[in-house]
Amino acid sequence: MFHLIFSLPSLYVITRFIGPMPWPLSVRLATALLLLIASQYHLFCRFSSGSVFAPEMPRFIVILFNWAFCAIFLIALMQIATDAVALISLIVQHKIAILPGYRYAIGLIAVVLSAYGVHQAIRVPPVKNITVEVSGLPAEFEGYKIVQLTDMHISRLFPASWSAAVVKKANGLGADLIAITGDVIDGTVNNRRKDVEPLRDLSAPDGVYVITGNHEYFFEQKKWTEHLIQLGMKSLPNKHAVINRNGAKLLLAGVNDLSASNRSSTSSDLDQALENAPVGAPIILLDHQPRNARQAAARGVQLQLSGHTHGGLISGLDRFFAPANGGFVSGFYDVEGMTLYVNNGTGLWPGMALRLGRPSELTLITLKARRSEPAKEAVPETVALASE
């Protein structure tokens, strides 16, 4: 069923885009065959590693597959829009002709956009500076800086050279703490050992903290958690840590991913994570998926940092991601007085590496004490792009 669903865009393109082309039958058949091969990228991933989530192929082949697969997807979207307009024209009895030149333009636009989108997806992300106002933040934590990394999906697409560049950029920001909010990898420990090794060099005065994302549960979650701890990270599986500054306290809590219970693992449990928490300390919650933000707000969390959505990948289509994520897809949200920040992701799943209008980010968060009532609209953000 998974592979059939991902074949649908190519089947639509073959019937509605390639079929009407004024080409010899042999050319149309050959093109259709190439599209069918490209559409089965995830099947080839399964053949290479046993999982659709970890392509164990040379990086340039993974990039080529993503470019072709995403180009098919974009052509399908534009062809659907074209067919919708044509149908409306028939209904209003004002038939329009679709010339071959128009189809060529669609194909060219899709190919170029796909190349650009894949490049945007696989680059080392620029730095995004944001400021968050936190209610009850002690003066000792005014200006406290947190680097958030999320959805790195370290894999053949995001190899050791990429992770090393991310580590270098993150360390150079001089943050007090680094928080990694899940989906660190795609692949087994044996296959990814070299690619994640640069993470050993991540460093911040108050430590590097990590929680699980849903993808960790696809690949030996317990082994991965143990391995990340060996790399110097501090795991927060339904636990919290207290950060001290001259007697003032800030609480950093983490929960397991919401998919854990479906993988015979310990479920996400915010109550457990906050058990015996110091009274009055502002709470920052690391939760890979944003959809439980309202429950977190009800428990007195001041700031929740999430990822998972990859920002919706394509601006304008991102709302399709909203229903499954509690309505939260990208950026700031005021959730009953709690600030939720949904990070677009440092990397993304190599199964569809495309970004158009939803850029990746390496996020530097500066905490400030809240001076007034929380705004009802989205919290404004300040963005600074660092050179890559």
Strand locations in 183-328 (E): 208-211, 234-235, 239-245, 248-254, 283-286, 303-306
Tens of pLDDT along the chain (388 residues) come to 667 788 899 999 999 999 999 999 999 999 999 999 999 999 999 999 999 999 999 999 999 999 999 999 999 999 999 999 989 988 887 878 778 799 999 999 999 999 999 999 999 999 999 999 999 999 999 999 999 999 999 999 999 999 999 999 999 999 999 999 999 999 999 999 999 999 999 999 999 999 999 999 999 999 999 999 999 999 999 999 999 999 999 999 999 999 998 888 999 999 999 999 999 999 999 999 999 999 999 999 999 999 999 999 999 988 899 999 999 999 999 999 999 999 999 999 999 999 999 999 999 999 999 886 544 444 444 443 343 3
Residues 108 and 220 in one domain: no
pLDDT score of 386: 41
In angstroms, the CA 130 to CA 128 distance is 6
* Contact present, 384 and 128 (Cβ < 8 Å): yes
Residues 118 and 145 in one domain: no
Residues 94 and 163 in one domain: no
Q: Is residue 163 part of a domain?
A: yes
Residues 221 and 162 in one domain: yes
Residues 37 and 75 in one domain: yes
Residues 179 and 250 in one domain: yes
Residues 225 and 351 in one domain: yes
Q: How far lies 262's CA from each of 214, 215, 265, 309, in Å?
A: 10, 12, 7, 19
pLDDT score of 374: 47
How do beta strands 283-286 and 303-306 pair? parallel
End position of a domain, from candidates 122, 141, 160? 122
Q: Is residue 387 part of a domain?
A: no
Q: Which domain holds residue 112?
A: 1-122
Residue 262: CATH number of its domain? 3.60.21.10
End position of a domain, from candidates 122, 141, 167? 122
Q: Is residue 83 part of a domain?
A: yes
Residues 152 and 113 in one domain: no
Residues 100 and 158 in one domain: no
The domain tally of the chain equals: 2
Residues 198 and 91 in one domain: no
Residues 65 and 202 in one domain: no
Q: Is residue 170 part of a domain?
A: yes
pLDDT score of 94: 80
Tokens of 20: 């009407």
Residues 113 and 140 in one domain: no
